[in-house]
Chains A and B, each alone.
Chain A
Amino acid sequence: MKTSYYRRIERFKDTCIRGILFSSALCSILITAAIVFVLFYESIPFFKSVSFKQFLFDKQWTPLFSDAHYGILPLICGTFLTTLIALILAIPLGTIMAIYLSEYASHKFRETLKPLLELLSAVPTVIYGYFALLFVTPLLQTILPSLSGFNVLGAGLTMGIMIIPYVSSLSEDAMHAVPMPLREGSYAMGATHFQTAIRVVIPAAFSGITSSYILAISRAIGETMVVAIAAGMQPNLTLNPLEPAQTLTAYIVQVSLGDLPHGTLGYQTIFVCGLTLFFITLCFNIVGHSLRKKFREVY
């Protein structure tokens, strides 16, 4: 019978396609497995020649010098310092704008401004690097003449501008999702927009706002080009944002640009840095995940 033959072919096709789709979905697991495998595979030989104690507590990172030191602290310090500066700019600014867009602005204003703000994160990061080095730093130098050409402050502030939309857009989404009756309940008590936003909308959207912060933090920690271009290439254990410093990511770039032979200790250091970076972002994601779980939206 012709129809049943046709149906059988269709059914067979259906099964094959299901198989193909399933294998593509498995790809993402393969990628993660590959990342974890490579990072560990290349890092293990490193830890055979360098002790954990030196890695965690030595105050210098000079793997490429003849007097080699392998203390990760200066790079971690650089990474956190740039991230901190970026967050000091992006979190207040992004949150305030999110509240304004969600609770005060008209529909039209919001729909215009949101895509404009999102452009800030669409600009390639290497262009932000250009901006940090050739515009932001010279601008800062007119106020702080002692500022060196490569510095943490300029790179951090530029990164802050770059991550504003992660905070503003995602927080706004979370606040906008708070149901209107909840707001009306507050307005009906005689609350102002500000009181409603602070006391009702923000607590209700807390988990979404937290996610936006966590995403901004992971972006800042993993950001590479801005710091590689504008923050300098010297590992520097300092909390002074006016000095140059190197981040984990910038170090990886620095070594990749050179020509270190595969299999040497110097080559392995970039995977060790990668592993450290991976570990730090993973921690933030886990913290974010548990915060989201704890404060899941309960409208």
Chain B
Amino acid sequence: MVTTFKAQVQNLHFYYGTVEALKNISISIQEKKVTAMIGPSGCGKTTLLRCFNRMHDLYPGNRYEGEITLYPEGKNILDPKVDPIELRMRIGMVFQKPNPFPKSIYENVAYGLRVRGITQKSIIGEKVEESLRYAALWDEVKDRLYHLASNLSGGQQQRLCIARTLAIDPEIILFDEPTSALDPTATQKIEELMETLKEKYTIITVTHNMQQAARVSDYTAFFYLGELIEFDKTENIFTNPKVKKTEEYITGRFG
């Protein structure tokens, strides 16, 4: 099977004020694959994830150096001329803690469409159902679409947040430790969901949980203290790591 690049990170440095949080990162993201980023707390994996949709632009004092090229058009998305809002319309994100808006389930999924100025009820209704079905939530919520999303369980809320992202057909979905606040059953459902999602979407996920990376991802990147230590196919990383640090981490000697 031929794989193509969806995004390419080249010599990326990232600074919070004067602190260099990412040091010279280069990594390629394959289309319609799951790329996992692992490493101990503070290693920069979440920081890198948030570079892909320029979330760092929301806070003053943050600075990028280097390039992230997004394909097919091959534009550097870190270029100040690129509008982060336009970028975020193409790249979805699912957060660590479920963060549904204080609205109904329906309105949560419809949010992205409304942001895009879509108002036709029929289009929105169709898209909401399709997204909820795809996120394997439809059967659980179809009778209470107009209830507040905060009444759902944690796992349901997280799948709602995924559905919310799916509704706008993103090209890449970023997952920021999506299961760290969930119980094992809910975690399993999200992992199964990621398996189906990669048929249509490119996925980048950050995880604390190495077993999860091993289960869901095709490629794994190991970060340590802001540096990319090793990047390879997941099976290679977990069975035959080339760098000693990686081996120490995945065998649980530190982290």
In the bound complex, residues from chain A placing their C-beta under 8 Å from that of B219 are: none
Main secondary structure of the interface of A (DSSP, over half): helix
Number of A-B contacts defined by CB within 8 Å: 77
- Closest Cβ of chain B to A48, distance in Å, is 52
Q: Which residue of A lies closest to B164 (CB)?
A: A189
* B114 sits at the interface (CB 8 A): yes
* A203 sits at the interface (CB 8 A): yes
Q: Judging by beta carbons under 8 Å apart, are B102 and A203 in contact?
A: yes
Contact digits for A183-214, partner B, Cβ 8 Å, 1 yes 0 no = 11111111110010001100110000000000
Query: Which one of B15-23, B83-91, B209-217 is at the A interface?
Result: B83-91
- Closest Cβ of chain B to A148, distance in Å, is 48
- Closest Cβ of chain A to B101, distance in Å, is 5
* A182 sits at the interface (CB 8 A): yes
Q: Judging by beta carbons under 8 Å apart, are B58 and A184 in contact?
A: yes
Q: Which residue of B lies closest to A200 (CB)?
A: B101
Q: Judging by beta carbons under 8 Å apart, are A106 and B101 in contact?
A: no
How many angstroms from the CA of A203 to the CA of B100 in the assembled complex? 12
Partner of B58, one of A187, A190, A299: A187
* A124 sits at the interface (CB 8 A): no
Q: Judging by beta carbons under 8 Å apart, are A189 and B99 in contact?
A: no
* A298 sits at the interface (CB 8 A): yes
In the bound complex, residues from chain A placing their C-beta under 8 Å from that of B115 are: 186, 189-191, 195, 199
Q: Which residue of A lies closest to B168 (CB)?
A: A189
- Give the interface size class of chain A: 20 to 34
> If the complex has contacts A189-B112, A189-B168, are A184 and B99 also in contact, measured as CB distance less than 8 A?
yes
Q: Judging by beta carbons under 8 Å apart, are B88 and A188 in contact?
A: yes
- Closest Cβ of chain B to A102, distance in Å, is 14
Q: Judging by beta carbons under 8 Å apart, are A199 and B86 in contact?
A: no
- Closest Cβ of chain B to A142, distance in Å, is 44
Q: Judging by beta carbons under 8 Å apart, are A188 and B92 in contact?
A: yes
* B38 sits at the interface (CB 8 A): no
Q: Judging by beta carbons under 8 Å apart, are A190 and B111 in contact?
A: no
How many angstroms from the CA of A8 to the CA of B148 in the assembled complex? 56
In the bound complex, residues from chain B placing their C-beta under 8 Å from that of A190 are: 85-90, 112, 115-116, 168
Q: Judging by beta carbons under 8 Å apart, are B93 and A106 in contact?
A: no
Which of B111-167 touch A at CB < 8 Å?
111-112, 114-116, 148, 150, 161, 164-165
Q: Judging by beta carbons under 8 Å apart, are A192 and B95 in contact?
A: no
Partner of A299, one of B89, B102, B111, B112: B102
Q: Judging by beta carbons under 8 Å apart, are B93 and A298 in contact?
A: no
Q: Judging by beta carbons under 8 Å apart, are A189 and B55 in contact?
A: no
Q: Judging by beta carbons under 8 Å apart, are B95 and A181 in contact?
A: yes
Which of A156-200 touch B at CB < 8 Å?
179, 181-192, 195, 199-200
In the bound complex, residues from chain A placing their C-beta under 8 Å from that of B233 are: none
Partner of A186, one of B60, B90, B97, B101: B101
* B242 sits at the interface (CB 8 A): no
Partner of A188, one of B55, B60, B100: B55
> If the complex has contacts A199-B114, A298-B150, are A187 and B55 also in contact, measured as CB distance less than 8 A?
yes
* B179 sits at the interface (CB 8 A): no
How many angstroms from the CA of A200 to the CA of B53 in the assembled complex? 20
Q: Which residue of A lies closest to B57 (CB)?
A: A187
In the bound complex, residues from chain B placing their C-beta under 8 Å from that of A189 are: 88-89, 92, 111-112, 115, 164-165, 168
Contact digits for A258-299, partner B, Cβ 8 Å, 1 yes 0 no = 000000000000000000000000000000000000000111
Q: Which residue of A lies closest to B150 (CB)?
A: A298
- Closest Cβ of chain B to A187, distance in Å, is 6
How many angstroms from the CA of A189 to the CA of B97 in the assembled complex? 16
In the bound complex, residues from chain B placing their C-beta under 8 Å from that of A181 are: 95-97, 99
Q: Give chain B's interface residues, CB within 8 Å of chain A.
A: 53, 55, 58, 60, 85-90, 92-93, 95-97, 99-103, 111-112, 114-116, 148, 150, 161, 164-165, 168, 174
Q: 29 A-B contacts, Cβ less than 8 Å apart?
A: A179-B99, A181-B95, A181-B97, A184-B99, A185-B95, A185-B99, A185-B101, A185-B161, A187-B88, A188-B88, A188-B92, A188-B95, A188-B165, A188-B174, A189-B112, A189-B115, A189-B164, A190-B87, A190-B88, A190-B168, A191-B111, A192-B85, A195-B115, A200-B101, A203-B101, A204-B101, A297-B102, A298-B148, A299-B102
Q: Give chain A's interface residues, CB within 8 Å of chain B.
A: 106-107, 179, 181-192, 195, 199-200, 203-204, 297-299
